[in-house]
């Protein structure tokens, strides 16, 4: 499916342009909207000089840092999600323990899925094996379970770094990296825009932590829904608190109402809902670039 048409916007060409850094936040399936945000930069002919990503943001951050086009990203996502039965088989084939654990009255000793094995099965083959082979510097955020702190990964095996960043507790087992047990980066920093802001002229952050969910059951959320969605509540709270004292130059919120962490099958709905965010990013970025040029070249 080709990208939807959008309003054209001309950015003035100058001998020297500002550097741009983009942060792609965590939010489960809502992070599919990152494709739309990246389209905005692509349509303006802009390439970020540095990228930061948490969880699903690390996935699309890696794709962008490897210089995959958004058309390639869309095609790959649609291919994966259109093969629903095949996807289910892949999910089950890489789980570390039988799913029968869920039916046991005893606590599970490990998670349902191995994140790194899943990524090997689902990520585009064009992504390099190592982070230092990426075309654009990438910062991936994970959580050190025992130290209870943010870990920023900038080198080493790419898929293992992404696996650590997406390792949502219970669903994915923790990832061991350099002696640390790492989990989903959204547990500590769902929108790490500080990692790019200091090294660029214009910092952009795409927040997909999401809007509030409407009740779907008069008895409240089911146990599994509450367990999985609790991570989104946590991420949203962290982002809100962070933005009270610190902000990127441009903040775009693309959360889709009522979309859960694992609602990847709602891809079309998610990207369609993000279309206004693409146009907003293009307008704000155009204004920011013009302001930067005025500051860089004051009138005589």
Active-site residue list: 55, 184
Helix (H, G, I), strand (E, B) or coil at 140: strand
* Structure letter (DSSP) for residue 130: B
HEC assignment per residue over 167-182: CCCCCECCEEECCEEE
What is the SS3 string spanning 5-21?
CCCCCCCCCCCCCCCEE
- Host H or E run for residue 139: strand 138-144
Residues in the chain: 300
What is the SS3 assignment for 53?
strand
Give the Å distances, CA to CA, from 125 to 76, 119, 128, 156, 294.
Answer: 10, 10, 8, 17, 43
Q: Which helix (H) or strand (E) is 52 found in, with range? A: strand 50-54
């Amino acid at each position: 499916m080709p990208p939807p048409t959008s309003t054209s916007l001309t950015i003035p060409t100058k001998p020297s342009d500002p550097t741009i850094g983009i942060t792609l936040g965590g939010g489960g399936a809502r992070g599919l909207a990152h494709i739309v945000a990246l389209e905005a930069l692509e349509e303006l002919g802009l390439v970020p000089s540095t990228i930061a990503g948490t969880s699903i943001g690390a996935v699309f951050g890696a794709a962008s840092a490897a210089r995959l086009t958004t058309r390639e990203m869309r095609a790959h996502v649609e291919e994966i999600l259109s093969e629903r039965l095949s996807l289910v088989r892949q999910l089950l084939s890489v789980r570390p323990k039988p799913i029968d654990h869920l039916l046991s009255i005893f606590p599970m000793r490990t998670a349902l899925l191995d994140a790194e094995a899943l990524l090997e099965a689902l990520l585009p083959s064009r992504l390099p094996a190592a982070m230092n082979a990426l075309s654009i510097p990438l910062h991936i955020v994970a959580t050190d379970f025992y130290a209870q702190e943010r870990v920023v990964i900038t080198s080493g095996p790419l898929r293992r770094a992404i696996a650590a960043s997406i390792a949502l507790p219970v669903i994915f087992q923790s990832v061991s990296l350099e002696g640390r047990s790492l989990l989903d980066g959204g547990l500590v920093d769902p929108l790490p825009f500080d990692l790019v802001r200091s090294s660029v002229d214009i910092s952009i952050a795409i927040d997909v932590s999401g809007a509030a969910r409407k009740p779907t059951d008069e008895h409240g959320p089911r146990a599994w829904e509450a367990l999985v969605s609790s991570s989104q509540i946590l991420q949203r709270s962290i982002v809100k608190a962070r933005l009270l004292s610190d902000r990127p130059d441009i903040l775009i919120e693309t959360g889709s109402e009522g979309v859960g962490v694992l609602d990847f099958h709602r891809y079309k709905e998610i990207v369609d809902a993000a279309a206004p965010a693409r146009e907003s990013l293009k307008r704000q970025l155009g204004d920011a670039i013009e302001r930067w040029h005025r500051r860089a070249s004051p009138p005589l």
